[in-house]
């Protein structure tokens, strides 16, 4: 038998043409509708989630955002026309923090309803679990069911995992936000972590890096702000309730797009 071309793919499973891979090689392109709620949690509980070298931001200790996103993904092969595989919903928390003097956000918890999204997330450092995520949509039709982008419109959002409600949010639109960067202006940091199973090494991961999410061509469009509610109850098998809201700020609704082609390693914890 002649030499065999080894199986290939950006991630598992590897296969002869690489088509079985959960994801294509970057660049990856994303478009979404988003609901995000600003809130304040117990600063000590926030600090307890930060990775080594990262500290609370004295200027905004305990400040967090709870995000809900309806995503559409595509690679370079029109993946968006296969929505059963490449459309997904996501919810996550971003905590205000500081790393080496740089104001950042850090993502401790994130849920998606799709395995390709989970695999991309782990590759970046997003600690994704599978969940069930929903948000009210806005439709360009006249209807009580349409949730128009207009003052008074109400939107809800929720994330559940294994049949338990992780978080529930509601917002009511009040006014447009002309400049989204007045609200969202910190880079996102995450922890890229892959464990070992060999006996004796189970306490030492194979990969343990603090990384900075790099996004190409980010665009936030059609942002509205308004009043907000947020609940993060305690459920068995999760610790997310430790950063439940003590106080809730504003809610935001907007569309969001970017591409991903790179990642920056801020610190290799194994070095």
Of 105, 123, 188, 189, which lies in the binding site for its own copies, with binding defined by CB under 8 A? 123
Using CB under 8 A as the binding rule, whether residue 73 contacts its own copies is answered as yes
How many angstroms separate the CA atoms of 261 and 28, rounded?
A: 7
Interacting positions 160-189 with its own copies (CB under 8 A): 160, 162-165, 170
Least spacing, CB of residue 62 vs its own copies, in Å? 12
Of 100, 175, 234, 239, which lies in the binding site for its own copies, with binding defined by CB under 8 A? 239
Of 80, 72, 107, the C-alpha closest to 191 is 107
Using CB under 8 A as the binding rule, whether residue 271 contacts its own copies is answered as no
Using CB under 8 A as the binding rule, whether residue 202 contacts its own copies is answered as yes
3-state secondary structure of 240: helix
- Between 220 and 225, CB nearer to its own copies: 220
How many angstroms separate the CA atoms of 126 and 192, rounded?
A: 7
E strands, the chain, where?
28-40, 54-55, 63-74, 87-99, 102-106, 110-112, 128-130, 132-135, 154-161, 164-176, 188-194, 207-213, 216-231, 247-260, 263-268
The phi and psi torsions of 253 (rounded to 5 degrees) equal -135, 130
Interacting positions 124-163 with its own copies (CB under 8 A): 124, 127-130, 132, 134-137, 139-147, 154-160, 162-163
Least spacing, CB of residue 70 vs its own copies, in Å? 7
- Between 47 and 244, CB nearer to its own copies: 47
């Amino acid at each position: 038998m002649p030499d065999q071309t080894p199986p290939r793919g950006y991630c598992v499973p590897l296969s002869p043409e690489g088509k079985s891979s959960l994801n294509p090689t970057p660049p990856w392109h994303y478009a979404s509708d988003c609901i995000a709620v600003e809130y304040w949690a117990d600063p000590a509980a926030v600090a307890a989630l930060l990775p080594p070298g990262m500290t609370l931001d004295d200027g905004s200790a305990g400040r967090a955002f709870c995000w809900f996103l309806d995503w559409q993904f595509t690679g370079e092969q029109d993946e968006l026309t296969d929505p059963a595989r490449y459309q997904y919903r996501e919810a996550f928390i971003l905590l205000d923090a500081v790393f080496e003097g740089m104001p950042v956000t850090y993502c401790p918890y994130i849920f998606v309803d799709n395995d390709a999204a989970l695999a991309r997330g782990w590759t970046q450092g997003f600690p994704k679990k599978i969940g069930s995520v929903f948000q009210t949509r806005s439709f360009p039709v006249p209807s009580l069911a349409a949730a128009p982008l207009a003052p008074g419109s109400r939107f809800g959002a929720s994330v559940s995992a294994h049949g338990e409600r992780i978080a529930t949010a509601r917002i009511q639109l009040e006014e447009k936000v002309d400049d989204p960067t007045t609200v969202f202006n910190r880079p996102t940091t995450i922890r890229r972590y892959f464990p070992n199973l060999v006996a004796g090494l189970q306490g030492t991961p194979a990969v343990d890096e603090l990384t900075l999410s790099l996004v190409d061509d980010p665009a936030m469009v059609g942002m509205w702000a308004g009043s907000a509610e947020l609940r993060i109850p305690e459920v068995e098998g999760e610790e997310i309730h430790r950063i439940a809201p003590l106080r809730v700020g504003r809610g935001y609704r907007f569309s969001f797009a970017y591409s991903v082609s790179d990642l920056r390693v801020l610190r290799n914890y194994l070095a």
